[in-house]
Amino acid sequence: MSDDGFEGTLEEAVEFLEDLEGTAVRLYVHNDADGLTAGALMAFTLRCLEVPTRLRVLNTETELLKEDLDGPTVVVDMGSGILDKLRNDHPVLVIDHHEISSKPSDNVLLVNPREHGVDGGTEASASTVAYLLCRRVVKVEETCLPKAALVGAYGDNQAGKRGVRGLNRVPEEDGEKHEIIEIRDPAYWVFGRASMTVGEIVERVSGASVREALEARFGDLDVAPVDLSREDEAEIVREHRELLSGEKRKELESKTGRIHVFDEERPLKALRDPLETATLLNACGRYGEGWAGVLIAMGSWDPLQLAKKLRSKHKAIIREALSRLSRGEGITDRESMVVIDGRELGIPHTVVGIVAQFVCEERERVTVGVAEMEEGLVKVSIRCPENSDVDAAEVIKEAADRVDGEGGGHERAAGAEVPEDRLEEFLLELEKLL
């Protein structure tokens, strides 16, 4: 990575924003957890600079191209795939981390760490890029911004069992320094650290007898991991490990690692866990209420009741989809990939990528999900297993181009919009590339 190059680009972006003082700006953000947290960071920054802002949450870059970009514009967590099409008489700032597939127009300033050798799929979420810009304007120690940036990294699958990497370490280190983010290692690495008890986690991973043995040592384990102290959780995890051997111990190792816990000043326990927070924000964005996710990421709790209802809906849709897929409905095994037909299952186009991710992880195969969009178009999401040498963004863009569609994304997760009447042709082209 060229530190000077990226630092210079960030400084250019600060100057861009400072020059906007008093001028209204349009802020377009992607509707997933990473996009919403990055959008929150930029909205906070613009407010501090006294820049009037109109926020719009979008699902795809294609939607962005349909917007009237008449005036100064900031685009967050999208744009790198359509840089040459963002033509505007006014300046456009693109803050992104996706693969870059074209050169920017003269009016576009791109802030993307990929230009400087950083892997935007594993080392820099959009929220981290926005955070690095924001911390040049705002005193981070006075805000919840490091937490927002970390939530985005979790939402973008950039926080693994060994924690975060690369530029994502910056908000982690800032949050730990200012004592608003606690790092735990070893800790239980599972979804539900705020909603499940330690006893439930132990029983799910290793069985009732191991839970009984641990409770004989530590007492009742009907407490969520986030409610334990760092030291107590580490002691339980170590003792849990000592009770196991062979494959059972290996299974536990896959469920433990380096995790983050937010400080206790949050009105909902789920908000103390970055992964559960990301799920809450995802639910807002996927069902047309992205503004609520942005506000929550900024530390405003007014939309929490709405967010909780959307989260319940989100979980129910995914649960139903996975149940039907397990019965063989709407799923086809092709030679080089698994195809999920979300149209048959009623999966919204905003959720089909999440369902595809579950299937990809379970089967360890390239998985493609298809869902209906507006009339005549379908959304296609592709997910690749970690051990795959397939570049998802590259192959889906190439296949989409061959059928007059649009595509792009990350190495492991990408998406496209293609004409519905050319879907089978698209899938055949995709198979050739795989």
CA distance 2 to 369: 37
Cα distances (Å, whole numbers) of residue 194 to 222, 261, 358? 12, 10, 21
Any domain includes 92: yes
Domain of residue 75 covers: 3-160
Check whether 233 has a pLDDT greater than 50: yes
| pLDDT tens profile 9-65 | 999 999 999 999 889 999 999 999 999 999 999 999 999 999 999 999 999 998 999
Average pLDDT, the chain: 95
CA distance 199 to 223: 8
Which residue among 103, 138, 160 closes a domain? Answer: 160
> Which CATH number belongs to the domain containing residue 140 in this structure?
3.90.1640.30
Residues 6+ apart with CB under 8 A from 142: none
CA distance 408 to 220: 49
Check whether 378 has a pLDDT greater than 80: yes
| pLDDT tens profile 341-361 | 999 999 999 999 999 999 999
Look up tokens 């499940």; give the residue.
196
Query: Which of 92, 89, 110, 88 minimizes the C-alpha distance to 101?
Result: 110
What's the whole-number mean pLDDT along residues 97-103? 91
pLDDT of residue 68: 84
Which residue among 111, 140, 160 closes a domain? Answer: 160
| pLDDT tens profile 304-344 | 999 999 999 999 999 999 999 999 999 999 999 999 999 99
Any domain includes 205: no
Check whether 150 has a pLDDT greater than 70: yes
Any domain includes 149: yes
pLDDT of residue 2: 46
pLDDT of residue 367: 98
Which residue among 103, 135, 160 closes a domain? Answer: 160
pLDDT of residue 3: 54
Interstrand relation of 367-372 and 163-164 (parallel, antiparallel or unpaired): unpaired
- The angle subtended at Cα 180 by Cα 177 and Cα 181, nearest 5°, is 80
The three-state DSSP-derived secondary structure of the chain is: CCHHHHHHHHHHHHHHHHCCCCCCEEEEEECCHHHHHHHHHHHHHHHHCCCCEEEEEECCHHHHHCCCCCCCEEEECCCCCCHHHCCCCCCEEEECCCCCCCCCCCCEEEECHHHHCCCCCCCCCHHHHHHHHHCCCCCHHHCCHHHHHHHHHHHCCCEECCEECHHHHHHHHHHHHCCCEEEEEEEECCCCCCCCCHHHHHHHHHCHHHHHHHHHHHCCCCCCHHHCCHHHHHHHHHHHHHCCCHHHHHHHHCCEEEEEEECCCCCCHHHHCHHHHHHHHHHHHHCCCHHHHHHHHCCCCCCHHHHHHHHHHHHHHHHHHHHHHHCCCCEEECCCCEEEEHHHHCCCCCCHHHHHHHHHHHHCCCEEEEEECCCCEEEEEEECCCCCCCCHHHHHHHHHHCCCCEEEECCCEEEEEEEHHHHHHHHHHHHHHC
Any domain includes 262: no
User: What one-letter code names the amino acid at 77?
Assistant: D
Question: Which strands form 25-30's sheet, in the order they lie side by side?
Answer: 53-58, 25-30, 73-76, 92-95, 108-111
pLDDT of residue 162: 92
The CB density around residue 87, as the number of other CB atoms within 10 Å, is 11
Tell me how many domains the chain contains. Answer: 2
Any domain includes 360: yes
Phi, psi of 158 (to 5 degrees): -105, 10
CA distance 270 to 226: 9
> Quick one: pLDDT band at residue 87, thresholds 50, 70, 90?
confident
> Which CATH number belongs to the domain containing residue 425 in this structure?
3.10.310.40
Contact (Cβ atoms closer than 8 angstroms) between residue 225 and residue 308 = no
pLDDT of residue 1: 41
Any domain includes 14: yes
Any domain includes 410: yes
Any domain includes 245: no
User: What one-letter code names the amino acid at 422?
Assistant: R
Look up tokens 């493609």; give the residue.
368
